[in-house]
Amino acid sequence: MSTLMKVAIHKSTIPETQMFVIKELEDKHFDPVWHSHSEYQLFVVLKGTGTRFIGDSIKSFRDTELVLTGADLPHLWRSDEAYFKRDNQLGIQGIVIYLQENFLGEHMMEKEEMLLLKKLFKKAARGLEFYGEKRDLVIDMMKELIHMRGLESLIELLKILDILAHSKEYHYISHTEYSGPFKENETDRMNKVYEYALANFRKKISLPELAEMLFMTPTSFSRYFTIKNNKPFSRFIAELRIKHACKLLVETDMPVSTISYECGFNTLSNFNKQFKEVMLKKPSEYKAEFSGL
């Protein structure tokens, strides 16, 4: 796992000869690097499961997730551990579109016809997750866009953006906006933090050990993490554990007590308390909701 997370600040570059870039992803797992870039990114997961980090948000992801992220909003789609095991038969698929805010020209976004699109881009600063019929329509259009070229592809992209701009079926993802790219040393630090957290969240986390890895004191690390992630490190770990618990509640028949220990909680009462704080409902209610009971 340690060899997989590397520094990457700007991961996508749009050639000067193109207005946007669309890529079809098919691999063993999604790129496991936490990063940000200046382009807006429209991304759909067609196949694959894991944990998603966008801004200060942590959430499990699965097929048909459609997300628009704004410029410089840090993100990571981390495939489940099973995808990294040797000789596994799993794989991922997705489609990603990169574009700059001024992809139509320097002053085009100031025109009256672009008002809704400009609002969409502004909202994307916190990340948007779409749902409902319009999401399904956009996913189908993205699949078609892969095979288009020239003016036809630009028209299709504008249609997609117009549908999203008119949609009210979305949730904001991050509680805060991020401005400007992360410095390389910050990206390196946060990748180490995510790597350590994902490898160790099921057991007791050693803050001194993690701080030492980053050449910081535990106090300075705690302060640094809170500033960069808009939440204390303890809350981050709790959310990571709870999101894993959500996955186990839905996908397995494990008793709640077993799940609580599997996710790193020492007592069932603490698990129930923190689960309700994060998910606003009890574990049993969450499981019943997804079981259709």
Mean pLDDT of the 161-170 span: 97
Tokens of 22: 């669309």
How does DSSP classify residue 105? -
Mean pLDDT of the 138-159 span: 97
Pick the CATH number of 20-172 from 2.60.120.810, 2.102.10.10, 2.30.30.90, 3.60.20.10: 2.60.120.810
Tokens of 18: 């193109």
Helix (H, G, I), strand (E, B) or coil at 52: strand
State CA 177 to chain mean position distance. Answer: 14
Q: Which pLDDT score, from 0 to 100, does residue 292 have?
A: 54
Mean pLDDT of the 100-122 span: 90
Query: What's the CA gap between 182 and 30, in Å, rounded?
Result: 21
Mean pLDDT of the 261-278 span: 93
Query: What's the CA gap between 181 and 38, in Å, rounded?
Result: 7
Indicate the residue type of 284: S
pLDDT band at residue 1 under the 50/70/90 scheme: very low
Q: Tell me if 45 sits within 8 A of 62, measured CB to CB.
A: yes
Rg of the chain's alpha carbons, rounded to an integer?
A: 20
Q: Which pLDDT score, from 0 to 100, does residue 14 have?
A: 86
Query: What's the CA gap between 214 and 188, in Å, rounded?
Result: 9
How does DSSP classify residue 79? E
Q: Which pLDDT score, from 0 to 100, does residue 28 have?
A: 94
In the predicted structure, residue 183 carries a pLDDT above the cut 60: yes
pTM: 0.80
Tokens of 8: 């990457």
Q: Which pLDDT score, from 0 to 100, does residue 4 have?
A: 37
Over residues 192-206, the pLDDT tens digits come to 898 899 888 999 898
Mean pLDDT of the 48-53 span: 93
Mean pLDDT of the 153-158 span: 97
Query: What's the CA gap between 16 and 240, in Å, rounded?
Result: 40
In the predicted structure, residue 11 carries a pLDDT above the cut 70: no
Q: Tell me if 97 sits within 8 A of 22, measured CB to CB.
A: yes
Indicate the domain borders of the chain.
20-172, 201-291
In the predicted structure, residue 291 carries a pLDDT above the cut 90: no
Of 30-39, 56-65, 156-165, where does the model show the most confidence? 156-165
Over residues 208-255, the pLDDT tens digits come to 999 999 999 999 999 999 988 888 999 999 999 998 999 899 888 999
Residue that is written with structure tokens 């999101």 in the block: 243
Class of domain 201-291: mainly alpha
